[in-house]
Homo-oligomer: A and B are copies of this chain.
Amino acid sequence: MLTLADAEKLTAGRIFGDDSVAFQKISPIYDAGPEDMAFLADRRYAEHLSVCPSRALLVSEALGSLEGGPTNRLVVPDPHAALVVLLPVLHPEPKQRWGIHPTAVIHASATVDKRVAIGPNVVIGADVSVGQSVDIGANCVVGAGVSIGTGTTLFPNVTIYARSALGERVIVHAGTRIGVDGFGYVRSTGAIVKVPQMGDCVIENDVEIGANCTIDRGSIGRTVVGTGSKLDNLVHIAHNVVIGPRSILVAQVGVAGSTRTGEGVAMGGQAGLVGHLKIGAGARIGAQAGVIGDVAPGQVVSGYPARDHRTYLKAMARIMRMPDLLKRVDRIERRLQPGGATSPEDPG
């Protein structure tokens, strides 16, 4: 339970109306009940304001003076940033219980910190190192020689292949596979022969990886996901890829082998990058883009094959001008025919 006054202190926002109003929950404006604090950060949802029955509103400065709905308001520069501080107070995490479940199967040679949470049926291989405050969910499998840094969390049913290295405060969601053999073959007299995949897979500090992702190990050399990068669900990272620090990869992105990206790159959902590319720092790759060439730092690309976003939009617009162009050329040809009309009165 928080009052608007409490929330103001936590967020340094400004209150309009009654600061003693209390709420237990923050809800999207289209769902919020009378007891909730309604949340409005995007003008597309402002239409719900007039019928919102909530006693309080968390709203951005841009939308804070819109009429209708709750008159008791906390106006903040970034409502999402306010959630970062308010939600943990409203919904405190259950206290982590440290301990190793008796059904966990831990190899005698593994080094496991005393303060860890290891769930039922977890399997930990030889020579694994598990740091302090690590939380490994039920039914995870951690291969031989893996290291897991302080404060890292694996949700259930994750697989970490042998010798992968996870840094500190990493979060890996359910069903993700890290350090998978890369997709490398040579053809030999008709057969397709596997090239052994012996490289490393390194997940640096503060990375979060969504559910059911696949991150390959290097063939030789290594695959790296850089510090602070965030991957959504069902993302595929091939062998020897390097994702730079503080990058954002939305769901179902695929990055093919040996491509290297700079710091702070953003990739939209379902985008695909072929192998051996260099993607410059701060580049932005549109949803579903198919990138088949290098991208300069800061460049924004879209479409397939991906090119400069504005060029792409122009090309699409040009296609839409085709029917008009066809009509104009028809008209010109008619004029040029013997006996064709040539005056401006030509009805065309």
Binding site for B on A (CB under 8 A): 25-28, 31, 39, 42, 44, 78, 80-81, 83-84, 87-88, 90-91, 94, 101, 103, 105, 119-121, 123, 137-139, 141, 144, 155-157, 159, 161, 171, 173-175, 177, 180-181, 183-186, 188, 190-196, 198, 206, 208, 210-214, 216, 218-222, 228-230, 232-234, 236, 238, 240, 246, 248, 250-252, 254, 256, 258, 268-270, 272, 274, 276, 287-288, 290, 292, 303-305, 314-316, 318-323, 325-326, 328-329, 332-333, 335-338, 342-344
CB atoms of A233 and B236 under 8 A apart:
yes
Shortest Cβ distance from residue A239 to the other chain B in the assembled complex, whole angstroms: 10
CB atoms of B119 and A196 under 8 A apart:
no
- Could you show 22 A-B contacts with beta carbons less than 8 Å apart? A25-B220, A27-B221, A28-B218, A31-B222, A83-B196, A91-B198, A103-B103, A105-B138, A119-B123, A119-B141, A121-B139, A141-B157, A161-B174, A180-B233, A185-B230, A191-B246, A192-B229, A192-B248, A210-B214, A216-B233, A318-B319, A338-B343
CA distance A304 to B333 in the complex (A): 33
Q: Which residue of B lies closest to A158 (CB)?
A: B157
Q: Which residue of B lies closest to A123 (CB)?
A: B138
Q: Which residue of B lies closest to A338 (CB)?
A: B344
* B contact residues around A315 at 8 Å (CB): 319-320, 322
CB atoms of B196 and A91 under 8 A apart:
yes
* B contact residues around A138 at 8 Å (CB): 105, 123, 141
CB atoms of A288 and B304 under 8 A apart:
yes
CB atoms of B159 and A156 under 8 A apart:
yes
* Known contacts A121-B139, A251-B256; A211/B83 CB under 8 A: no
CB atoms of A221 and B123 under 8 A apart:
no
Total copies of this chain within the assembly: 3
Shortest Cβ distance from residue A317 to the other chain B in the assembled complex, whole angstroms: 9
Q: Which residue of B lies closest to A188 (CB)?
A: B81
CB atoms of B276 and A269 under 8 A apart:
no
Which of B103, B250, B320, B326 touches A183 (beta carbons < 8 Å)? B250
Which of B177, B191, B234, B323 touches A214 (beta carbons < 8 Å)? B234
CB atoms of B290 and A274 under 8 A apart:
no
* Known contacts A31-B222, A139-B157, A288-B290; A101/B105 CB under 8 A: yes
CA distance A252 to B212 in the complex (A): 12
Which of B101, B123, B206, B292 touches A156 (beta carbons < 8 Å)? B123
Which 10 residue pairs are nearest across A and B when measured between Cβ atoms?
A: A214-B233, A141-B156, A159-B174, A318-B322, A28-B221, A177-B211, A123-B138, A87-B196, A105-B120, A183-B232
